Amino acid sequence: MTDAQWSPAERVRGTGASVFTEMTELARRTGAVNLGQGVPELDSPRGLLDEVAAAVLAGHNQYPPAYGTAALREAVAGHQRRRYGLEYEPQGEVLVTTGATEALAASLLALCDPGDEVLAFDPCYDAYPAGARFAGARLVPVPLAEDGDRFVLDADALRAAVGPRTRVLLLNTPHNPTGKVFTEAELAAIAGLCREHDLTVVTDEVYEHLVYGTEAHRTIAALPGMRERTLTISSAGKTFNVTGWKVGWVCGPAHLVAAVAAAKQFLTYASGTPYQEALARALGGVEEWAAELRRTLQRNRDLLSDGLVRAGLRPYRAEAGYFVQADIRAWGHADGVRFCRELPTRAGVVAIPTSAFHLSPGAPSYLVRFSFCKREKSVLDAVEKLVNAV
């Protein structure tokens, strides 16, 4: 068989080179300021780095238990109790994974049979449709609505998307790419629908510590009748600026977590022993660290949002996370992909078209995502270039 005849399996077809790869390569080639991918340029807690080095040298280098080290499982359970008043048994209700990415994939593999449907709000993180596809399931996008400079739940669209094959609602709050934090009322509406239709919720909360201003992160598992049907996923990557470590975790009732562990055991079995040892200690002091990180990120968000206004690229409100959405139509563009391909030469800046996260056929094409998890200088440089390019 020749290369030309060969074709990969259906489940990976078309998931190869993405617009992320293209834009990262464009940034490298043109030397543009890269506000594309959400890779932090910010420091990690020094004590945490020292702890990893010490754990490696102390010999914590072999397989940890399949569910994760006891110390990290206990630290995660303590974190959920202190922050959200939720009790999880460290033995059986907490599973450590290779990043949130593996927790998501293993959850979908554990919960979906071929032909099942998974609901997710659109736009959504690109691992969601891929994970559903690996499980033989179909991701059904539920568009978020625009309300001024915010994105909001469209409860009617959500209700209309539920069908006889719907098994899972995949929630992401704080939300990537929009920076939306789901409100108490929105979560109550979602929870009501999940109870009514007996859906399992998988909630991706990797930005749980990165909420700015007055809106607060709430976890849907804390709502009445939800703990028993919810898998809550988070990760160290975004909270501690250690995206290369790939340590995540999932909490939930033992029968759901056991199913996820059954899938996870044959994806990676386990990983990251020294990182787990170090993170177990760091998680106890996360509130202090996260308060400082939020100050840095919020300043960057404000600099970027103000700069986008001055450049005539109308920003949406980023309540949380790493990203600001902008409306590019004032620059005479309606197509975010073309805009992002031209932006490095026009302005010396790289961004990502939000269409890379959109699955609904009628989704807006005029949105572009800029990341601000960067050094302040990178954000200021990008702003200056955008303003001068007008």
300: contact with ligand PLP by CB under 6 A: no
| Among positions 40, 99, 123, 252, the unique one binding ligand PLP when judged by CB under 6 A | 99
203: contact with ligand PLP by CB under 6 A: no
Instruction: Write a three-state SS string for 353-368.
Output: EHHHHCCCCCCCCCEE
Q: With respect to ligand PLP, which residue has the nearer C-beta, 215 or 384?
A: 215
Local structure of residue 291 (DSSP, 8 states): H
206: contact with ligand PLP by CB under 6 A: yes
Number of residues that bind ligand PLP (CB under 6 A): 14
Q: How far is the CB of 38 from ligand PLP (least distance, A)?
A: 6
44: contact with ligand PLP by CB under 6 A: no
The residues in 102-141 that bind ligand PLP, with binding defined as CB under 6 A, are 125
Q: With respect to ligand PLP, which residue has the nearer C-beta, 180 or 385?
A: 180
Q: With respect to ligand PLP, which residue has the nearer C-beta, 97 or 347?
A: 97
Q: How far is the CB of 325 from ligand PLP (least distance, A)?
A: 14
69: contact with ligand PLP by CB under 6 A: no
235: contact with ligand PLP by CB under 6 A: yes
378: contact with ligand PLP by CB under 6 A: no
Binding segment (CB under 6 A) for ligand PLP, from list 94-102, 111-119, 259-267, 280-288: 94-102
Both tokens of 13, joined, read 């077809």
| Among positions 36, 68, 90, 248, the unique one binding ligand PLP when judged by CB under 6 A | 248
241: contact with ligand PLP by CB under 6 A: no
- Among 385, 383, 365, 351, residue whose Cα is nearest residue 20: 351
Q: How far is the CB of 241 from ligand PLP (least distance, A)?
A: 12
100: contact with ligand PLP by CB under 6 A: yes
What is the per-residue burial (b if ≥16 Cβ within 10 Å, else e) of 165-198? ebbbbbbbbbbbbbbbbbbeebbbbbbebbbeee
Strand order in the sheet with 323-327: 314-315, 323-327, 367-371, 352-353
- Among 92, 88, 96, 199, residue whose Cα is nearest residue 140: 199
204: contact with ligand PLP by CB under 6 A: yes
Rounded to 5 degrees, what angle do the CA atoms 216, 219, 220 make? Answer: 130
Measured in residues, the chain has a length of 390
Report which residue's Cβ sits closest to ligand PLP.
99
Q: How far is the CB of 390 from ligand PLP (least distance, A)?
A: 30
Q: How far is the CB of 164 from ligand PLP (least distance, A)?
A: 28
Q: What is the Cα 152 distance to its own chain's centre?
A: 18
**SS3 of the chain: helix, strand, coil, percent, to 5:** 45, 15, 40
Q: How far is the CB of 271 from ligand PLP (least distance, A)?
A: 11
Distances (CA, A) of 279 to 276, 285, 367: 5, 10, 36
172: contact with ligand PLP by CB under 6 A: yes
| Among positions 166, 200, 243, 354, the unique one binding ligand PLP when judged by CB under 6 A | 243
Q: Residue ranges of the alpha helices (H) in the chain?
A: 19-30, 46-57, 70-84, 99-111, 127-134, 155-161, 184-196, 236-240, 254-264, 273-282, 286-310, 336-347, 376-389
Q: With respect to ligand PLP, which residue has the nearer C-beta, 200 or 347?
A: 200
Q: How many helices (H) and strands (E) does the chain have?
A: 13, 15
Binding segment (CB under 6 A) for ligand PLP, from list 82-90, 95-103, 106-114, 280-288: 95-103
232: contact with ligand PLP by CB under 6 A: no
- Among 246, 324, 234, 331, residue whose Cα is nearest residue 283: 234
144: contact with ligand PLP by CB under 6 A: no
237: contact with ligand PLP by CB under 6 A: yes
Q: How far is the CB of 239 from ligand PLP (least distance, A)?
A: 10
What are the backbone dihedrals phi and psi of residue 193, each rounded to the nearest 5 degrees, phi first? -65, -40
Give the binding site for ligand PLP (CB under 6 A). 99-101, 125, 172, 176, 204, 206, 235, 237-238, 243, 246, 248
